[in-house]
Amino acid sequence: MKLVLTFLLGSLILAVIQTAHAQDESLSVPQSVEAGSAFSIQDAGSGEGTLYIVGPGQALRRTVQLGTSVYFPAGSICNAGRYVVILAQAGGTMNRSFDVTPVMAPASLSFLAKPSRLPVGLHDGITGAVYVFDVYHNLIATPTLISFELSSPSGAVQKQLVSTRAGAAWTEMDSTTEEGKSKFVARAGDVSSTSIIRQVPGDPCDLKIGAQPSGGELDLQTAPVRDCSGNPVPDGTIVTFTETYPGGQSTVDVPIKRDIAEVKMPAHDGATITAASGVVLGNQIRWGK
Amino acid sequence: MKKGGYLALSLAVATVVLIVIGCVWPVAAAKPFIIKKSLITSSSTPEEAVQNLGQDIEAHDWQKAYESFANKNQFTEQEFELDLTGYTTNLRTYSMLDHFSIWPLHASENKADIRLELDWATVVGTDVDTRNLEVVRSGDHWNVVWPFTKQSTVPPQVIPVNYLRWDVIYRGAGDDWGAQDVDAPRVRIVDMHPVQRADGVLVMGELLNDDVVPAYVSVTATLQAKDKSPIATEGSFDEISHVLLPKQVTPFLIQFPDAQLSEVDSINMKPFAILVPASADPVIEIDNQKFNPAPNASLSGQLVNQSGQVVNVAHVIGTLYDKTGQLVWVADQYVDSALLPQTPVAFNIPIPEDIAKNVSSERTVVATFSFGGAL
């Protein structure tokens, strides 16, 4: 009895699978469709049914007259990916699948430029990575030529052409010897994205101080503070003045204003005055006897 | 009596018992709110006179304290109050007197010298104010001669300040995930030295802002055992100057209570920095900075505010080095009075005697805070 029942059930399943296969062959879908473009699906059967199209982040449902072509106008499906087509009718269901591919023309770029700020004269210090998207924000996985351009404040341009791989392209560039804001542009066809990279002066180079008597005090002042490429060190950079004299010491952290750091300190005979900025030491002067 | 009645009665009894216990043995936090009655009211000895003064100050009874002075014709009651709490808003303004101690120094028939130590509880810990008092006999009682400190004032004037300031615009919430943001400042530890002390391990060092923008900084250290397992992690908390301008260096001190340096194989240091809006002012000069060797070793000096802005709280952090330039100690102190423009304020940071003998040079930085101002 058990054997008979198993045989009957197995035969029934095989029959249903065979029927489904036969019906699948009558459902005609395109192999691939470009996102946003019009397409049609055809069924060779008769009667009425319901057509479902299910894909990434999107599902469509249509009541269809079997045996006719079902037309989907442009913009019906926008998200790239694999879609499943299911036709439900009185005799059962049938399904097929097709791919929706991104539009080939780039419409937007996601451009990651790092860092936002770096010292001048750094080899491979700037990195840029680009992801290319179509008008529907689908990642374009097919190779696309990207142009990276880094313009220094003086107008000099570094340019590199890189082809995307799996939708992304990246590059490395040197910071220039000139401080200022540089424009870093990534371009694919007519589409571009711009980031600003601030190239900042390096450590102060050849820090020099001078002293002038001013009443009972000393007027201490640095020469214009510049880095080793000749760029002025930014205002606000701290210069530490230290005055050492018999029996004591005076120190003060002074921010650079308009290229120089300036401070008044007590005048002590025999004092030694030094200046430092970060780990850079300046000259040393002696005051009085 | 019903069950509810017993419950109500027992609750009432318990409440009364708890109130009595709270009044007789109050917890430390409740002490400032208790209206105190002087335990000693007579001033028949110099010690009693100073004890009464301490109790009056503790109870903020300025009038009673003022009335007890032998030299009250030299200053007003308000000036006496401001002498203790500060003329300009400072660390002491919002503090309470936690306790006081007295030490008789010298006594004769009509005059005595007594040291009064006032321990104020402030938001950054205990601030000790020591006054040497002269007490004089007046008939059958004694009166304190209050050592009034005349507060220096700054004449009304306009001080032009051509100050620098950094403001930051971060990436907006609506920007694309790939949109560029401003990077955190680059900072680096330029010196680090662990030492074993009786109460644990101390990790000292110096941190440099290597960038061209201001940074809010802190440092975290993790002690690791030989098998690389973490023993403890601690941060620098307030023993660091948190706002660093470009190329500025701050010392830091991290404490690991009860840790043993012999069990430590390595120390993992993590400096932390974020970009913050900041001002380059005020500029504070540290004048007459001096290391005073043992006995009573200390780092002393004067702070001079070279800007026009009043500094309400100043935090002095000193770094001490041996003759090879190796960092040997980091010590700090909050100054309990405001820094008025061009008005020197003294500081004196005690240094442990065993460390003092190795000190050859020193460096001091000042972190400041002004009420109502930005960083």
Give the lowest-confidence range in A13-22, A165-174, A179-188, B220-229. A13-22
Mean predicted lDDT score pLDDT of chain B: 88
| Whether A236 and B246 lie within 8 Å, measured CB to CB | yes
Residue A13 above 60 pLDDT?
Answer: no
What pLDDT shows up at residue A96? 92
Mean predicted lDDT score pLDDT of chain A: 87
Residues of B in contact with A247 (CB under 8 A): 290
Exposed, middle or buried, A72 (CB in 10 Å: 0-12/13-18/19+)? middle
Residue A260's Cα: distance from chain center in Å?
38
Question: Which residues have a Cβ under 8 Å from the Cβ of A137 and sit 6 or more positions away?
Answer: A108
Give the lowest-confidence range in A197-201, B37-41, B135-139. B37-41
Residues B57-95 as b/e (b if ≥16 CB within 10 A, e otherwise) read bbbbebeebbebbbebeebeeeebbbbbbbebbbbbbeb
Per-residue DSSP letter, A139: B
CATH domain A204-287 topology: Immunoglobulin-like (2.60.40)
* CATH 2.130.10.10 correct for B165-170+181-278: no
A58: distance to nearest CA of chain B, Å? 23
* Delimiting residues of CATH 2.60.40.10 domain(s) in chain B: 165-170+181-278
Residue B183 above 90 pLDDT?
Answer: no
Class at the top of the CATH hierarchy for domain B28-145:
alpha beta
* Delimiting residues of CATH 2.60.40.1620 domain(s) in chain B: 281-369
Q: How many CB atoms lie within 10 A of CB B211?
A: 25
**Domain A2-101 is of which CATH architecture?**
Sandwich (2.60)
Question: B111 falls in which pLDDT band (50, 70, 90)?
Answer: very high
Class at the top of the CATH hierarchy for domain A108-200:
mainly beta
DSSP string for A17-48: HHHHHHHHTTEE--SEEETT--EEEEE---SE
Q: How many CB atoms lie within 10 A of CB A90?
A: 9
User: Which residue in chain B has the smallest CA separation from A235?
Assistant: B164
Residue B145 above 60 pLDDT?
Answer: yes
Instruction: Report the residue of A250, A257, A265, A273 to disrupt the B interface, i.e. the one with the largest count of B CBs within 10 Å.
Output: A250
pLDDT 10s digits, B328-355: 999 999 998 899 998 999 999 999 999 9
Q: Do domains A2-101 and A204-287 have the same CATH topology?
A: yes
Q: B85 with B57: CB under 8 angstroms?
A: no
Question: B34 falls in which pLDDT band (50, 70, 90)?
Answer: low
B231: distance to nearest CA of chain A, Å? 33
pLDDT 10s digits, A118-162: 999 889 999 999 999 999 999 999 999 999 999 988 888 999 999
Structure tokens at B345: 């304020």
What's the rounded Cα separation, in Å, for the pair A14 and A2? Answer: 19
Residue B29 above 70 pLDDT?
Answer: no
Residues of A in contact with B212 (CB under 8 A): 117, 200-201, 234, 236-237
The mean pLDDT value for B345-373 works out to 90
Residue B196 above 90 pLDDT?
Answer: yes
Cβ of residue A277 closer than 8 Å to a chain B Cβ:
yes
Domain boundaries, chain A: 2-101, 108-200, 204-287
* Delimiting residues of CATH 3.10.450.50 domain(s) in chain B: 28-145
> ipTM value of the model?
0.73
pLDDT 10s digits, A190-211: 999 998 899 999 889 889 999 9
Residue B180 above 80 pLDDT?
Answer: no
Q: Which position has the higher pLDDT, A63 or B42?
A: A63
Residues of B in contact with A240 (CB under 8 A): 249
pLDDT 10s digits, B260-302: 999 999 999 999 999 999 988 889 999 999 999 989 999 999 9
Count chain A–chain B contacts defined by CB atoms under 8 A. 100
Pick the CATH number of B281-369 from 2.70.70.10, 1.10.357.10, 2.60.40.1620, 3.30.1180.20: 2.60.40.1620
Q: How many CB atoms lie within 10 A of CB A137?
A: 14
Residue B125 above 70 pLDDT?
Answer: yes
Cβ of residue A246 closer than 8 Å to a chain B Cβ:
no
Sign of the Cα torsion B45, B51, B52, B54 reads positive
The mean pLDDT value for A46-67 works out to 90
Indicate the residue of B162, B166, B177 with minimum beta-carbon distance to A236.
B166
